[in-house]
Chain A
Amino acid sequence: MSEKGVLDGVRVLTLEQVHALPWGTGFLADLGADVIRVESPDHLQDRKAGPFPDGKAGEEWWNEGGNLVYYGTRNKRSLCMDVTQPRGKEVFLKLVEKTDIVTDNFRPGTMQRFGFDHDSLSAINPRIITLSSTAYGYTGPWRRAGSRARTVDAACGLSYLTGYEGGPSMRASNNYMDHSVGNNVAYALLLALYQRKKTGKGMRVDLTMLETGVSAVGPAILEAQKGITRDRLGCAHWWKAPHNVYPARDDDRWIVIVVSSDEEWERLKEVMGFPDWARDPRFDTALSRWRNRHELDQLLGEWTSRQDDLEMARDLQEKGVTAGACITARDLVNDAHLQEREYLWEFANPQAPEVGARVFAGRPYRDAGNPMTLSKVAGLGQDNGTILTELAGLSQSEIDGLEADGVIFGAPRPDEPRP
């Protein structure tokens, strides 16, 4: 990157685990902030989570997982330090003096136990912004409950509304809410920085997964208050038909076709070569197509099942019908559109030379004024020395002492179980 990132000079200390918060602070790191991931030697789950080449963790497994590149320590620095020890805590608080943002995703109470609650940090640095990303927040009867992303997909109403037509509710995803929450974390932190420029004062952000999830299902929240129930429809639609996923020729290949108007229906008929069934007056109007959608889906599915999904989708789009092949991860890597937009990034992590170059999903927007690149991925404790010297003002012998006494770490403990 030739010019400096917009957040150059902004420092973030993050006590983060799993997914939502690392995804959120990753945006700030992409934008040039100095994001320091403070990692505990006793909680290396994220570094065990992989994915590893061919599913096998290598010699330096703690630096080899793909999730680290995708969001875990992308463009961040790593300080592996036990902040529960007095000297670790002391160093952490020294760093807070030179920090703009402290984030965590512990359950409410943990930061206070460490002495890292907002009031304590604010006493050291009144400009500090703290954000806690939790499942249910710092107040309310559920504040002590643990969570997984999918338990929040459930609690916010999204999973109840998700399911095959006529079938039971289904888990919406394993971790959709992690990403939605990560995006909200990035938005809230950038808002906080924007506000601080005006006021000069720090602030406290209590951000929750549950509430971010509820904010994403607003229509159903309004409907519920007026007694309207939203039926589960699978890939079908409230008023469009055809609007579904249809089988293609090859095994487990599928296509989505969406018709929003009579004109589009005419174009679809033309692509199909005006088969007899499609001339049936039952399919002539939006309302009659929707009423007869099960039969329509069946007949259309017979047509789609004779063809290649990718060719069919291209053909339909070129003739003005909204359609898309239901593609796999392998297809994504080879997708001409994503390649031409330079969405996919190939990256060889210098901290994991055995892994070699791999392809990753890139950033989901472009802004020529704020370019984002992948420049580094922090290995465990890789930046201990520079951070402690430059920011905490420690001498080399003090740093050596912390390492000898088991306060900071450059690798997992020898007896750490392998993933």
Chain B
Amino acid sequence: MSGILSELRVLELANRPSGAFCAKLLADQGADTIKVEPPGWGDQSRQEPPFIGEVPHPDRSSVFLSFNTNKRGITLDVEQAEGRKLFLRLSQSADIVIESYRPGRMAELVLDYETLAQENPRVILVSITYFGQDGPYADYQGDDLVAQAMGGYLYAVTGSAAKPPMGTALQQMEITAARNGAVAVMAALLRRDQTERGTHIDVSTMEAAVSTPSGLVHPYTYTGRNPHRGGSDGNVMDGMHLPTLDGEVTLTTAGTGGRPMQAWAEFLEEPGLTDPKFATRGGRMEHWEELHSLVAPRLAQWTNLDLMRETMARGLVIGLVQTPTQVVESPHLEERGFFVELDHPETGAMLYPGSGFFIDGDNAMAGNRAAPQLGEHNVEILGGELGLSLRELGLLRAARVI
């Protein structure tokens, strides 16, 4: 399918995972998305391990590959006057520009919203930074872990009560900021249809982190208690991971009609679970080691997929703690057609995740392009679309503008 956003053009000048993922969300819906990278090393994440094939190479970083699907790529040094000029020309045909410089830097480069909007009043500028465009921390430096810490997530959510704070893997605050940005872009596009005017959107990764748990702020303001990490400690039935024959599982007390221990005793064929001391949540926490010693050996007899099938048949609710390999090989995802195969000259064809939704039965992933190689579309875009001659492109290359 051609994609819902196929008539739109996105320029990404992001160099950070949040901006790259935000642009990817739009690119995967068909927007013609041009990633603008600094000449030389390119996007920072090109240099980040791990690399596909374990060989360090700017086109093989798994983070770069997965955050930049369905984009075209050019190199352009916007720190140089000629580069800025070309960027401004490109921005005239852009619907959306995504950037992640420190606040104020776009103004120094004379690429701020006012400048862009002067030439193209319909442009929507998205600034995704760690702390937003204003406020005392605006100039602070960040990364995903800092956002987790300063957003209150790290202290409260993932780790064990008796241990130091510990966060969620794989840059989830960057992802959440990107999703917030994509929502804001869609709202701005709908608004633009009414007003013919673009806008400047300010996305903060710290604020994404604050908003991400079910509410750090209001549980405190209602109860006076600080949410604290450790919710899965000793929680055999509702939080811990327990080994199976070929993996791990996490149980729940859901789907048991309010009689969780009877239901699980029956399913696991372990009558000891009905002991009254396990009847309440408090009792289960108090005697968790004993409970664990009854539950774990039973679960260890099951394979993941068998356990999923049989609990599902009885209405019990579990979660398989799947490894990424188990996810890739998931019969469920295969039957749904969730993964899309994208070919790439350096890595070969690989399966990439879809968007998370199907529209009228189709996986909503427009396009079939893997991440661009560094400067892959310089000639196509700067030559073909902006009309620069090969000689001019040569000059720009010599001057390290592209």
Residues of A within 8 A of B (CB): 6-7, 19, 27, 31, 50-55, 66-67, 69-70, 131, 136-137, 139-142, 144-148, 150-164, 168-176, 178-181, 183-184, 186-188, 190-195, 197, 203-208, 210-226, 228, 230, 232, 234-235, 237-239, 243, 245, 247, 254-256, 258, 260, 317, 320-333, 336-338, 340-341, 343-344, 355, 358-370
Contacts and interface: CB of A to CB of B under 8 A. Distances in A.
A163 to B, nearest CB: 8
Interface range for B: 35 or more
Interface of chain A, helix or strand or loop or mixed?
A: mixed
A366 B210 contact: no
Contacts of B66: 218-219, 221-222
Given A51-B218, A245-B164, A364-B207, 14 more contacts: A151-B318, A156-B322, A157-B326, A159-B319, A206-B357, A207-B356, A211-B336, A211-B357, A218-B67, A258-B143, A328-B152, A337-B136, A338-B207, A358-B221
B358 A364 contact: no
Contacts of A260: 143
Interface of chain B, helix or strand or loop or mixed?
A: mixed
Contact of A6 (B158, B167, B190, B223): B190
A337 B135 contact: yes
A369 B324 contact: no
B317 A147 contact: yes
Contacts of B357: 131, 184, 188, 205-208, 211-212
B239 interface: yes
A223 B351 CA distance: 10
Contact of A176 (B157, B311, B354): B157
Nearest to A224: B324
Interface of B: 4-5, 25, 29, 48-50, 52-54, 62-63, 65-67, 131-137, 140-143, 145-152, 154-160, 163-170, 172, 175-177, 179-184, 186-191, 193-195, 197-204, 206-208, 210-224, 226-227, 231-232, 239-241, 248-250, 252, 254-255, 308-309, 311-312, 315-328, 331-333, 335-336, 338-339, 347, 350-361, 364
A331 B163 CA distance: 20
Contacts, number: 487
A214 B333 contact: yes
Contacts of A164: 159-160, 163, 166
Nearest to A358: B221
Contacts of A205: 357-359
Contact of A158 (B159, B170, B347, B355): B170
B336 A190 contact: no
A341 B134 contact: yes
15 contacts: A19-B214, A51-B219, A66-B222, A141-B332, A147-B319, A153-B319, A156-B327, A179-B212, A207-B357, A218-B67, A221-B327, A254-B165, A322-B146, A364-B176, A369-B197
A212 B308 contact: no
A183 B189 CA distance: 17
Contacts of B249: 154
A169 B168 contact: no
B202 to A, nearest CB: 4
A190 B359 CA distance: 13
Contact of A217 (B166, B211, B321, B324): B324
Contacts of B131: 337
Nearest to A181: B356
B171 to A, nearest CB: 9
Contact of B210 (A51, A208, A364): A364
A174 B150 contact: no
A97 to B, nearest CB: 22
